[in-house]
């Protein structure tokens, strides 16, 4: 079994969610806020940090999910997404571990598949 990826304290950025969200378009802001809030409700031990310019959910120093907003979509990403079941084929990415789902304002997605 491979060791967990851990975020070192030197790699955590001093940022807050609300100012980060305010920099995003209204459409993307609501999507990013909704899904990061959902991620943070996954357990009482989930912590929010900023890493690589976006909000990341961690347990201790081990990240498991993130949200990032781009020009026309929001990525809901999973650090170990390659290991997740994906019956609906929503996960994208070709890396060894990480996968993401692109959420676009104009597209409807079965949210139950993401929970």
pLDDT digits (tens, 9 = 90+) for 66-85: 999 999 999 999 999 999 99
H-run or E-run covering 98: none
H-run or E-run covering 32: helix 26-40
Asked if 53 and 80 count as a contact pair (C-beta separation under 8 A), the reply is no
pLDDT tens column, 11-30: 999 999 999 999 999 999 99
Asked if 88 and 45 count as a contact pair (C-beta separation under 8 A), the reply is no
Q: Which of 3, 4, 74 is nearest to 35 (CA)?
A: 74
Q: What would the two tokens of residue 72 be?
A: 């026309």
Confidence (pTM) = 0.92
């Amino acid at each position: 079994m491979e060791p967990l990826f851990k975020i070192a304290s030197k790699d955590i950025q001093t940022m807050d969610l609300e100012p980060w969200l305010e920099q995003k378009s209204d459409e993307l802001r609501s999507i990013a806020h909704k899904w990061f809030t959902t991620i943070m409700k996954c357990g009482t031990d989930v912590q929010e940090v900023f890493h690589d310019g976006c909000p990341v959910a961690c347990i201790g120093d081990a990240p498991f999910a993130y949200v990032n907003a781009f020009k026309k979509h929001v990525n809901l990403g999973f650090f170990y997404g390659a290991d997740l079941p994906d019956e609906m084929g929503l996960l994208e990415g070709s890396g060894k571990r990480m996968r993401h789902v692109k959420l676009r304002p104009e597209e409807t997605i079965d949210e139950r598949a993401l929970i």
